[in-house]
Amino acid sequence: METTARWPRLVGGHVALDFINTDVVSGGDRSDDVLRSADEFVAWCVYANVSGASPTMTAPHGARREDLLHAARSLRTATRTVIEGIVTGRAADGRALSIVQAAYTRSIAEATPAIRDGRLTWRRTTTSPEALVSELAVEAIALLCDGPTDRIKACPACGFVFIDTTKNRRRRWCSMDDCGKEEKIRRYVAKRAERSRRTRVG
């Protein structure tokens, strides 16, 4: 199994956003994508604490294996399209919304309705790897319906999406340990270069 070291930090503030952030694209390079296999998908779900994921869970074999990877990737792409549309104020992408809806519909069909504390809940009894895709669809729908979608931002450096929970809503970077730090260093170097240029001119 892959080490967790190469997996993106969980900076999204919501599992649906962390899921999107597994598709790291840097200069057209997708080699950091953690969903290269069904095994990686299951392992990431354990790492990200997706409900129903357990360290003993393994990816299925045969055709189910490819189907699982395909379902996970397709949900991820669709969720990203919808979220990016919201962040950039673009018109809703009907096809992407339908894909999220279909995954959500499947998850509700597989669940058992129950009333808990006076509220309707969907109890999922299956602990199959496929149920992890369903769980991520439920999380995506919960975020899209209940928000706070107005606080979702994309890091200008790496494209990671996250919920800005700061009071003044001025969080800019996915993480101050990564992109925020790089920007600070970049500004510092630029300032120093400017200062030495002025000294030379003067």
Side-chain-facing half-sphere of 137: CA atoms under 13 Å: 26
CB proximity list for 102: less than 8 A, separation 6 or greater: none
How many amino acids of this chain bind Zn ion (CB under 5 A)? 6
Residue 196, classed as helix, strand or coil, is helix
Q: Which stretch binds Zn ion (CB under 5 A): 63-71, 109-117, 145-153, 166-174?
A: 166-174
50 binds Zn ion (CB under 5 A): no
Cβ at position 141, least distance to Zn ion in Å:
26
Distance CA 36, CA 49 (A): 19
Nearer to Zn ion, 44 or 160 (CB): 160
87 binds Zn ion (CB under 5 A): no
Cβ at position 159, least distance to Zn ion in Å:
7
Residue numbers 99-158 binding Zn ion by CB under 5 A: 155, 157-158
83 binds Zn ion (CB under 5 A): no
Distance CA 102, CA 153 (A): 26
Distance CA 27, CA 159 (A): 11
Nearer to Zn ion, 39 or 178 (CB): 178
How many beta carbons lie within 10 A of that of residue 186, not counting itself? 11
Distance CA 60, CA 55 (A): 14
Nearer to Zn ion, 184 or 195 (CB): 184
Cβ at position 83, least distance to Zn ion in Å:
15
Partnered with residue 29 across adjacent β-strands are: 26
Residue numbers 172-191 binding Zn ion by CB under 5 A: 174, 179
Cβ at position 186, least distance to Zn ion in Å:
13
Distance CA 137, CA 143 (A): 10
Binding site for Zn ion (CB under 5 A): 155, 157-158, 160, 174, 179
